[in-house]
Amino acid sequence: MELRPLTPANLPAAKALLASAFAADPTHRWLLQVEQPGYAQRLSAYLHAYLAYHQSAGLPTLGLFSGEDLLAAAWITPAAYQPEPQAWQALGAEIAEHCGGDVLPRLAQLFAFAEQVPQTNDYSCLEFIAVSPAVQGQGLGRQLLNAVQQRAPNGLQLMTGNPRAAAFYRRQGFVPWGCNKATAAPQIGLCWLGEGLCT
Protein backbone atom coordinates (compact mmCIF):
# COMPACT_ATOMS: atom_id res chain seq x y z
CA MET A 1 0.00 0.00 0.00
CA GLU A 2 1.11 3.54 -0.70
CA LEU A 3 0.35 6.92 0.86
CA ARG A 4 0.18 9.82 -1.58
CA PRO A 5 -1.80 13.02 -2.18
CA LEU A 6 -5.00 12.82 -4.17
CA THR A 7 -5.01 14.24 -7.69
CA PRO A 8 -7.88 15.58 -9.84
CA ALA A 9 -8.02 12.15 -11.48
CA ASN A 10 -8.95 10.68 -8.07
CA LEU A 11 -12.00 12.93 -7.62
CA PRO A 12 -14.63 10.35 -8.71
CA ALA A 13 -13.11 7.65 -6.50
CA ALA A 14 -12.80 10.07 -3.59
CA LYS A 15 -16.43 11.13 -3.92
CA ALA A 16 -17.57 7.50 -4.05
CA LEU A 17 -15.43 6.71 -1.00
CA LEU A 18 -16.90 9.55 1.04
CA ALA A 19 -20.46 8.81 -0.07
CA SER A 20 -20.17 5.18 1.03
CA ALA A 21 -18.34 5.97 4.27
CA PHE A 22 -20.70 8.80 5.32
CA ALA A 23 -24.07 7.58 3.99
CA ALA A 24 -25.29 6.82 7.53
CA ASP A 25 -23.32 9.58 9.30
CA PRO A 26 -25.61 11.36 11.80
CA THR A 27 -24.27 14.83 10.96
CA HIS A 28 -24.82 14.50 7.22
CA ARG A 29 -28.23 12.91 7.74
CA TRP A 30 -29.24 15.94 9.83
CA LEU A 31 -27.51 18.50 7.63
CA LEU A 32 -29.05 17.22 4.40
CA GLN A 33 -32.43 16.26 5.88
CA VAL A 34 -32.48 12.51 5.41
CA GLU A 35 -36.23 12.48 6.06
CA GLN A 36 -36.83 14.35 2.79
CA PRO A 37 -36.79 12.47 -0.56
CA GLY A 38 -33.53 12.65 -2.52
CA TYR A 39 -31.07 12.38 0.38
CA ALA A 40 -28.55 10.30 -1.60
CA GLN A 41 -28.53 12.87 -4.41
CA ARG A 42 -28.09 15.75 -1.96
CA LEU A 43 -25.24 13.93 -0.22
CA SER A 44 -23.55 13.30 -3.56
CA ALA A 45 -23.94 16.95 -4.61
CA TYR A 46 -22.69 18.23 -1.25
CA LEU A 47 -19.61 16.02 -1.31
CA HIS A 48 -18.88 16.93 -4.93
CA ALA A 49 -19.05 20.65 -4.11
CA TYR A 50 -16.82 20.24 -1.07
CA LEU A 51 -14.21 18.09 -2.83
CA ALA A 52 -14.05 20.41 -5.83
CA TYR A 53 -13.58 23.42 -3.53
CA HIS A 54 -10.90 21.65 -1.46
CA GLN A 55 -9.05 20.68 -4.63
CA SER A 56 -9.31 24.10 -6.30
CA ALA A 57 -8.04 25.78 -3.11
CA GLY A 58 -4.97 23.53 -3.14
CA LEU A 59 -5.68 22.20 0.36
CA PRO A 60 -3.84 19.07 1.54
CA THR A 61 -5.15 15.57 0.98
CA LEU A 62 -3.71 12.16 1.67
CA GLY A 63 -4.85 8.90 0.13
CA LEU A 64 -4.02 5.31 0.99
CA PHE A 65 -3.82 3.32 -2.22
CA SER A 66 -3.47 -0.32 -3.18
CA GLY A 67 -2.20 0.05 -6.73
CA GLU A 68 -4.67 2.53 -8.19
CA ASP A 69 -7.49 1.57 -5.80
CA LEU A 70 -8.28 4.26 -3.23
CA LEU A 71 -8.85 2.53 0.10
CA ALA A 72 -8.90 5.51 2.47
CA ALA A 73 -8.43 9.26 2.30
CA ALA A 74 -8.15 12.35 4.47
CA TRP A 75 -8.83 16.02 3.76
CA ILE A 76 -7.08 18.66 5.88
CA THR A 77 -7.36 22.43 6.19
CA PRO A 78 -4.15 24.00 7.56
CA ALA A 79 -4.44 26.30 10.56
CA ALA A 80 -3.21 29.32 8.61
CA TYR A 81 -5.65 28.89 5.72
CA GLN A 82 -8.02 31.78 5.00
CA PRO A 83 -10.74 31.07 2.43
CA GLU A 84 -10.92 33.35 -0.60
CA PRO A 85 -14.27 35.16 -0.15
CA GLN A 86 -15.51 34.75 -3.74
CA ALA A 87 -14.69 31.03 -3.83
CA TRP A 88 -16.34 30.57 -0.42
CA GLN A 89 -19.49 32.35 -1.60
CA ALA A 90 -19.53 30.28 -4.78
CA LEU A 91 -19.32 27.10 -2.69
CA GLY A 92 -22.28 28.23 -0.60
CA ALA A 93 -24.30 29.07 -3.71
CA GLU A 94 -23.56 25.67 -5.23
CA ILE A 95 -24.58 23.86 -2.06
CA ALA A 96 -27.79 25.87 -1.81
CA GLU A 97 -28.63 25.22 -5.47
CA HIS A 98 -28.08 21.47 -5.38
CA CYS A 99 -28.89 20.64 -1.75
CA GLY A 100 -31.49 23.24 -0.79
CA GLY A 101 -31.25 26.57 0.95
CA ASP A 102 -32.06 25.00 4.34
CA VAL A 103 -28.58 23.46 4.38
CA LEU A 104 -26.72 26.77 4.75
CA PRO A 105 -28.19 27.78 8.16
CA ARG A 106 -27.40 24.28 9.42
CA LEU A 107 -23.85 24.57 8.13
CA ALA A 108 -23.58 27.92 9.89
CA GLN A 109 -24.46 26.21 13.18
CA LEU A 110 -21.68 23.67 12.64
CA PHE A 111 -19.15 26.38 11.73
CA ALA A 112 -20.11 28.43 14.81
CA PHE A 113 -19.37 25.45 17.04
CA ALA A 114 -16.10 24.66 15.23
CA GLU A 115 -14.90 28.22 15.83
CA GLN A 116 -15.11 27.68 19.60
CA VAL A 117 -12.15 25.28 19.61
CA PRO A 118 -9.40 26.49 21.96
CA GLN A 119 -6.29 27.77 20.17
CA THR A 120 -8.22 27.61 16.90
CA ASN A 121 -5.40 29.34 15.01
CA ASP A 122 -2.89 26.69 16.05
CA TYR A 123 -4.64 23.52 14.90
CA SER A 124 -5.15 22.22 11.40
CA CYS A 125 -8.66 20.90 10.80
CA LEU A 126 -9.23 17.29 9.84
CA GLU A 127 -12.26 17.84 7.61
CA PHE A 128 -12.87 14.24 6.59
CA ILE A 129 -11.22 10.88 6.98
CA ALA A 130 -12.88 7.96 5.25
CA VAL A 131 -12.13 4.27 4.85
CA SER A 132 -13.82 2.12 2.24
CA PRO A 133 -16.45 -0.05 3.95
CA ALA A 134 -14.92 -3.07 2.16
CA VAL A 135 -11.66 -2.74 4.13
CA GLN A 136 -12.83 -1.30 7.44
CA GLY A 137 -11.59 -3.06 10.55
CA GLN A 138 -8.12 -3.68 9.10
CA GLY A 139 -6.35 -0.77 10.78
CA LEU A 140 -6.25 1.43 7.68
CA GLY A 141 -7.99 4.33 9.38
CA ARG A 142 -5.42 4.29 12.16
CA GLN A 143 -2.57 4.06 9.63
CA LEU A 144 -3.91 7.02 7.65
CA LEU A 145 -4.60 9.11 10.75
CA ASN A 146 -1.07 8.49 12.02
CA ALA A 147 0.29 9.74 8.70
CA VAL A 148 -1.89 12.85 8.93
CA GLN A 149 -0.71 13.49 12.50
CA GLN A 150 2.91 13.31 11.37
CA ARG A 151 2.14 16.03 8.81
CA ALA A 152 0.38 18.31 11.31
CA PRO A 153 3.09 19.35 13.79
CA ASN A 154 0.89 22.01 15.38
CA GLY A 155 -1.95 19.59 16.12
CA LEU A 156 -5.36 18.74 14.70
CA GLN A 157 -8.94 19.52 15.56
CA LEU A 158 -12.18 18.02 14.31
CA MET A 159 -15.80 17.55 15.19
CA THR A 160 -18.05 14.57 14.70
CA GLY A 161 -21.62 13.58 15.40
CA ASN A 162 -20.75 9.89 15.23
CA PRO A 163 -20.06 8.35 18.69
CA ARG A 164 -18.15 5.46 17.13
CA ALA A 165 -15.87 7.89 15.27
CA ALA A 166 -15.39 9.94 18.45
CA ALA A 167 -14.31 6.79 20.31
CA PHE A 168 -11.83 5.99 17.52
CA TYR A 169 -10.25 9.44 17.72
CA ARG A 170 -10.00 9.25 21.50
CA ARG A 171 -8.11 5.96 21.17
CA GLN A 172 -5.67 7.79 18.88
CA GLY A 173 -4.87 10.46 21.48
CA PHE A 174 -7.53 13.09 20.75
CA VAL A 175 -9.20 14.76 23.71
CA PRO A 176 -12.63 16.41 23.74
CA TRP A 177 -12.82 20.20 23.88
CA GLY A 178 -16.58 20.64 23.72
CA CYS A 179 -20.00 19.27 22.92
CA ASN A 180 -22.68 21.02 20.89
CA LYS A 181 -26.18 19.79 21.67
CA ALA A 182 -27.88 22.62 19.81
CA THR A 183 -28.31 20.49 16.69
CA ALA A 184 -30.34 17.32 16.17
CA ALA A 185 -27.00 15.56 15.60
CA PRO A 186 -24.96 16.57 18.68
CA GLN A 187 -21.36 17.36 17.82
CA ILE A 188 -18.28 16.39 19.82
CA GLY A 189 -15.22 18.56 19.28
CA LEU A 190 -11.84 16.85 19.66
CA CYS A 191 -8.24 17.95 19.30
CA TRP A 192 -4.79 16.41 19.28
CA LEU A 193 -1.45 18.00 20.00
CA GLY A 194 1.30 15.42 20.04
CA GLU A 195 1.68 13.91 23.47
CA GLY A 196 0.10 16.95 25.11
CA LEU A 197 -3.50 17.87 25.78
CA CYS A 198 -5.87 20.37 24.25
CA THR A 199 -6.19 23.30 26.65
Give me the residue spans of the domains in the chain: 2-192
- pTM of the shown model: 0.89
Q: Calculate the alpha carbon distances from 63 to 24, 68, 86 in Å.
A: 22, 10, 28
* CATH code at 2-192: 3.40.630.30
Q: Report pLDDT for 120.
A: 60
Category of 69 on φ-ψ map: left (φ > 0), alpha (ψ -120 to 50) or beta = beta
Task: Return the exposure string of 110-136: e unless at least 16 CB atoms fall within 10 Å of the residue's CB, then b.
Answer: beebbeebeeeeebbbbebbbbbeeee
pLDDT the model gives residue 194:
66
Sequential pLDDT tens for the chain (199 residues) = 899 999 999 999 999 999 998 888 999 999 999 999 999 999 999 999 999 999 999 999 999 999 999 999 999 999 888 889 999 999 999 999 999 989 999 999 998 888 888 766 678 999 999 999 888 888 999 999 999 998 887 899 999 999 999 999 999 999 999 998 877 778 999 999 865 555 5
What pairing do the DSSP bridges indicate for beta strands 187-192 and 156-160?
antiparallel
